[in-house]
Amino acid sequence: MKKTLITFLLFFWVWSCATYHPPQPSFYLESLPQTVETEFSLDERIATEEIWKNIREGKGNKALKLLYRLGIKNPAYYVGLGYSYFLLNKYQASEESFKAALEDYPDMVLIHLGLAQLYQKAGQENLAFTEYREVLKRKPDHSWAQQEYDAIQSKKTEEALNEGKNFLAQGDIERSKQSFLKTLYYSPHSPEAHLALAEIYKADNKFQKALVHLEAISSHEAKNPDFLKNYAETLFRAEQYTKSLEVYKQLLELQPENQEIQSRIESLKNKLGIFELPNQYHTIPSKEAISREEIASLLAVKFQEIIDEAKGKPRIIIDISTSWATKFILKMTSLGILEVYPNHTFQPQKIITRAEMAEILLRFIDFLKKKGCGLIQQFPPERIRISDVSSDNYYHYPITQILSYQIMDLSPGKAFRPDQPVSGQEVVKILDIILSLIK
């Protein structure tokens, strides 16, 4: 009995001498920023170290007492209060303290981390998510905050997506839309949410709004044929034909044998008046002398918008089937800008002289005037004197008319050189002058 009593007393003495260790707080706590600590006196630094030590050990009340002594003017005061009250489960007081600290130090990561953990503990994950986002804005490499942020993001994204799908299945479009928008708050690049919203807006014929969501993920889905088809068709429905054509071309690169896509591309090209220019067209500016088929192509391409609006009478031409500029020739002859000879030939490779060029330009100017383009003669044609073109010359009238518009020039000796061929560079310059005059 005596031995048992001694053993009991010895155990009691050891237990009573042992140091009590309160449970460690289950939150993340950083030190005060060095930029703040450098403002402290030695005594303040020692005091704040002691406060932080107590907070880390879970001694909220002891930390509070030390904070009261430190004083309200100290930068650590409200931050310390926030964490101390958090330890004591006084969440409202903790939130108020953190917010008071933010008024003076809105960029202090330590405060945002405290609020994030407080909201997380209180079950307000949306607010916690916002605070973790604020931390990552200021410290993108903050691994602990990133881990917590990712966990909430994953959970809330999935919840909002499922909610949106359920509402959609029930036919509640408005609540479904709000849920998908909530998904984007947590995951701004969520393909599922953007695609779902795009379909909702498309069903309501709001194609511009649908495009906002498709464009948001277009860079991430650039190799996805299903997405590209959806995107291209929505652009088409929104009457953004040029952009639709671009996306269809991207799709064709992924599915080069797809006849449906090829057909849609050709349809869009026709709608936009786009045609592939033959290689021969690009060589015209370097030619020392240009032909009739080349002037036809230059006029048709450079004045495409004006010419495509006009409808002419088709002409019978027997010698242009092998010309690379056939469709341009047909267009320009149907409008009467270029002539077809009585034997139904066009002579596409015949070189044009300067005199013939003046005649073509005069016909073209008359055509433009009928379309409402304002072209004004700079001085009276009858006052023009040309040293190498007499008044009884067949081309005298068209030449003087064109010179009066200052579209073609005389040489220093007042010669027009009517029989000389006209170069590609000169024709391009002349047509660019006309373009500038009608704009």
In a domain, 250, yes or no: yes
d(CA 192, CA 296): 52
What is the Rg, in whole angstroms, of the alpha carbon atoms belonging to the chain? 41
User: Which residues face 288 on adjacent strands?
Assistant: none
Do 50 and 124 share a domain, yes or no?
Answer: yes
Do 320 and 253 share a domain, yes or no?
Answer: no
With 0-12 / 13-18 / 19 or more C-beta atoms within 10 angstroms meaning exposed / middle / buried, residue 306 is middle
Do 113 and 73 share a domain, yes or no?
Answer: yes
In a domain, 165, yes or no: yes
Tokens representing 276 are 């592939």
In a domain, 234, yes or no: yes
Do 116 and 170 share a domain, yes or no?
Answer: no
d(CA 82, CA 101): 9
φ and ψ at 424, to 5 degrees?
-60, -40
In a domain, 26, yes or no: no
In a domain, 6, yes or no: no
Point out the domain boundary residue: 272, 302, 325.
272
Tally of domains within the chain:
3
Return the DSSP state at 415. -
Do 190 and 135 share a domain, yes or no?
Answer: no
Do 432 and 314 share a domain, yes or no?
Answer: yes
Do 268 and 309 share a domain, yes or no?
Answer: no
- What is the domain extent for residue 197? 156-272
In a domain, 7, yes or no: no
Do 300 and 422 share a domain, yes or no?
Answer: yes
Residue-level pLDDT, tens digit, the chain, 439 residues: 445 444 444 444 444 444 444 455 578 999 999 888 888 889 889 999 999 999 999 999 999 999 999 989 898 999 999 999 999 999 999 999 999 999 999 999 999 999 999 999 999 999 999 999 999 999 999 999 999 999 999 999 999 999 999 999 999 999 999 999 999 999 999 999 999 999 999 999 999 999 999 999 998 998 999 999 999 999 999 988 889 999 999 999 999 999 999 989 988 887 776 666 788 999 999 999 999 999 999 999 888 878 866 777 888 999 999 999 998 999 999 999 999 999 999 999 999 999 999 999 999 999 999 888 888 888 898 989 999 999 999 999 999 999 999 999 999 889 999 999 999 999 999 999 998 888 6
Determine if residue 147 is left, alpha or beta; phi over 0 gives left, psi from -120 to 50 gives alpha, anything else beta: alpha
Do 310 and 431 share a domain, yes or no?
Answer: yes
d(CA 46, CA 303): 83
- CB neighbour burial string for 255-272, b if at least 16 within 10 angstroms, e if fewer: eeeeeebeebbeebeeee
Do 78 and 208 share a domain, yes or no?
Answer: no
What is the structure's pLDDT at 309? 66
In a domain, 241, yes or no: yes
What is the structure's pLDDT at 17? 46
d(CA 284, CA 290): 7
C-alpha closest to that of 356 among 322, 321, 312, 393: 393
Do 425 and 293 share a domain, yes or no?
Answer: yes
Coil, strand or helix at 291: strand
- CB neighbour burial string for 294-305, b if at least 16 within 10 angstroms, e if fewer: bbbbbbbbbbee
pTM above 0.75, yes or no: no
Point out the domain boundary residue: 107, 140, 173.
140
Point out the domain boundary residue: 244, 272, 300.
272
What is the structure's pLDDT at 208? 93
In a domain, 22, yes or no: no
DSSP codes, 161-216: HHHHHHHHHTT-HHHHHHHHHHHHHH-TT-HHHHHHHHHHHHHTT-HHHHHHHHHH
Whether 348 and 319 have beta carbons less than 8 Å apart is answered as: yes
CATH of the domain at 236: 1.25.40.10
Largest CA distance in the chain: 152
Do 126 and 161 share a domain, yes or no?
Answer: no
